[in-house]
């Protein structure tokens, strides 16, 4: 077989030299593309999600490893993110199941109840969950128990404090 007048079957180094030049050209293109991508972010740090999206968009043309090297992202990080997208962790799946139950219990009293009270209600309803899990999910969603407020009342010229709930 001849390519460009050179017998490739008899001279395999010619083919590898041609492919290495092509790979170098692809690397240069990928580097330029990555520089443009980084320049458009205007100096703000690149999130892993944006980097993975960039690699996904251009991986057919350049390959994962070339793009990852160009944007300083470890290929193992890219593949770990893709794996999590395909099959989320058991904890993530369980959190997605529990969160609506916790929100419903929290809203049922107008957002006045804390994690311990909600945990007890879930236990009473037959939902096995650890109290620390309820605390973590409530914290992540910004759900907090309403706190007691102090009111001042004046009686016979003296100021007294009364705590109401």
Output the pLDDT for position 43.
Answer: 65
**Cβ–Cβ under 8 Å, residues 105 and 69:** no
The packing angle between helices 12-40 and 48-62, to 10°, is 150
Output the pLDDT for position 119.
Answer: 95
Number of H helices, E strands in the chain: 7, 4
User: How far, in Å, CA of 51 to CA of 57, rounded?
Assistant: 10
Domain boundaries, the chain: 2-86, 89-165
Tell me the average pLDDT across 28-51.
75
**Cβ–Cβ under 8 Å, residues 134 and 118:** yes
More confident site: 75 or 161: 75
Kindly tell me if the per-residue pLDDT of 90 is higher than 80.
yes
The packing angle between helices 75-86 and 48-62, to 10°, is 100
């Amino acid at each position: 077989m001849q390519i460009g007048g050179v017998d490739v079957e008899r001279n395999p180094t010619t083919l590898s030299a041609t492919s290495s030049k092509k790979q170098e050209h692809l690397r240069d293109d990928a580097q330029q593309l990555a520089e443009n991508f980084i320049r458009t972010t205007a100096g703000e740090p690149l999130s892993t999600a944006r980097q993975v999206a960039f690699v996904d968009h251009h991986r057919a043309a350049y390959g994962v490893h070339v793009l990852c090297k160009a944007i300083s992202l470890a290929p193992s990080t890219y593949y770990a993110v893709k794996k999590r997208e395909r099959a989320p962790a058991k904890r993530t799946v369980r959190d997605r199941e529990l969160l609506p139950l916790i929100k419903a219990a929290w809203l049922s009293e107008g957002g006045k109840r804390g994690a311990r009270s909600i945990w007890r209600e879930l236990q009473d309803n037959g939902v096995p969950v650890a109290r620390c899990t309820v605390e973590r999910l409530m914290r992540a969603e910004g759900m907090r128990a309403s706190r007691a407020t102090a009111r001042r009342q004046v009686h016979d010229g003296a100021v007294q404090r009364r705590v109401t709930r």
